[in-house]
Amino acid sequence: MMQQVIEVKGLTKHFKNITAVDDLSFSVSEGDVYGFLGQNGAGKSTTIRMLLTLISPTSGNIKLFGMPLQLHRREILQKVGAVVEKPDVYKYLSAYDNLKLFARLSGVKISEQKLMQQLEMVGLTARAKDKVQTYSQGMKQRLGIAIALVHDPSLIILDEPTNGLDPQGIADIRNLILHLSKEQKKTIVVSSHLLSEIEQVATKILIIDKGKKIIEGESAQLFDPSQTVVELTTMDNIFSLQQLEQSIWQKNIQPQRENVLVLKLDKKLIPQLHRDLVSMNIEVLSLQPRHSLEDYFLQVTSGNQHVDTFTN
Separation of alpha carbons 171 and 180, rounded Å: 14
Instruction: Identify the band that residue 301 occupies on the pLDDT scale cut at 50, 70 and 90.
Output: low
Stronger pLDDT, 296 or 24, i.e. the higher one: 24
> 55-75: buried (b, 16+ CB within 10 Å) or exposed (e) per residue?
eebeebebbbbeeebeeeeee
In 3D space, the residue among 144, 25, 9, 136 whose CA is nearest the CA of residue 81 turns out to be 144
**305 has pLDDT over 50:** no
Sequence-ordered list of residues with C-beta below 8 angstroms from that of 138, at least 6 positions apart, any chain: 165, 166, 168, 169, 170, 172, 173
Paired with 19 in beta bridges are: 14
Question: Which amino acid is it at 216?
Answer: E
Q: For the chain, first and last CA: distance in Å?
A: 29
Domain boundaries, the chain: 4-216, 225-301
Evaluate whether 4-216 and 225-301 have a shared fold: no
Separation of alpha carbons 220 and 228, rounded Å: 13
Name the class of domain 4-216: alpha beta
**304 has pLDDT over 50:** no
Q: Does the structural domain 225-301 have CATH classification 2.40.390.10?
A: no
The pLDDT of residue 285 is 95
Instruction: Identify the band that residue 310 occupies on the pLDDT scale cut at 50, 70 and 90.
Output: very low
Pairing of strands 155-159, 80-84: parallel
Dump pLDDT digits (tens) for 8-64. Answer: 999 999 998 899 999 999 999 999 999 999 988 889 999 999 999 999 999 999 999
Dump pLDDT digits (tens) for 92-150. Answer: 999 999 999 988 888 888 888 888 988 998 999 999 999 999 999 889 999 999 999 98
**292 has pLDDT over 90:** no
In 3D space, the residue among 278, 275, 249, 276 whose CA is nearest the CA of residue 264 turns out to be 249
The pLDDT of residue 253 is 93
The pLDDT of residue 110 is 83
**What is the torsion angle, in degrees rounded to the nearest 10, for the CA atoms of residue 29, residue 312, residue 228 and residue 171?**
-30
The pLDDT of residue 88 is 79
- Name the DSSP class of 191: E
The pLDDT of residue 311 is 34
Would the pTM count as exceeding 0.75? yes
Dump pLDDT digits (tens) for 174-217. Answer: 999 999 999 999 999 999 988 888 988 999 999 999 999 988 98
Dump pLDDT digits (tens) for 64-97. Answer: 999 999 999 999 999 999 998 777 788 999 999 9
> 238-248: buried (b, 16+ CB within 10 Å) or exposed (e) per residue?
eebbebbeebe
